[in-house]
Structure 1
Amino acid sequence: MSTAPWRQSRGRSISVLDLPCAERTVGVEAALKLPNVMVLVVEDTCAQIAHEDWQHREPTRWHLQAHRCWRSEGRLLRAKKTRLKELATHCLDAPD
C-alpha cells in the first residue's frame, strides 16, 4: 500500500491509498471517515503482506509435498484477492 498526493481542480492536494489486491485506490479521508472503507484498507494490506510472504517461501520443486502445499496456499490467497475486489466494489461503488 502506498499513498500518493493528487491535485484537485482547485489546487488542493489529497492523498490516495493504493490497494493492490483490490486493484483500486481510495482517498485517505474516506478511509478515515468510513469504517467499511477502513476495513477494506486493512484487509488489503494484510493480503498484500501475506502474498509477499508466500512468494518468498516457495520451496524447491524437489520437495513435492511442500510445493503442493505452497501452491494450495497460493490458491487460497488468490481467492482472498477475489473477495477483496468484491468488497471494494461493495464499499466504494455502492450508492450512499
Structure 2
Amino acid sequence: MSYSVTIQPNGITFAVKEKETILEAALNNNVALPNRCQVGACAMCMCKKQEGEVSYHLDPMLTEKEQNQGWIFPCQAFAESNLVLTYSE
C-alpha cells in the first residue's frame, strides 16, 4: 500500500510506500526536503502536517504541544493516510 504526500505551498506530490519514512520516500522520488541527520536529532526536516495521519516506530523527539500543533519529523514518520505537509510558516 502507498499513500500520496503533497508538499505545500509548491504542490509537489510523491508516493510513500509502506515501511518507508516520508523523508526516504521524498529522497527516493528526487524530491529535495530539508534534512541533515535523518534520525530526528537535528530537527532540520521538521514540518507541519496540515492533513492526514502519521505514525512512528519510536516516540518522536517532539513535545506534546508540538505534536498537537501538527509538527512532525518526516525522517521518522510513516504515512498512515494521504498527507499534506508544509514547510512554510
The TM tier, using the shorter chain, reads under 0.3
TM-score, with length taken from structure 2:
0.23
Flag the structure with higher strand content: 2
**Which structure's CA Rg is the greater one?**
1
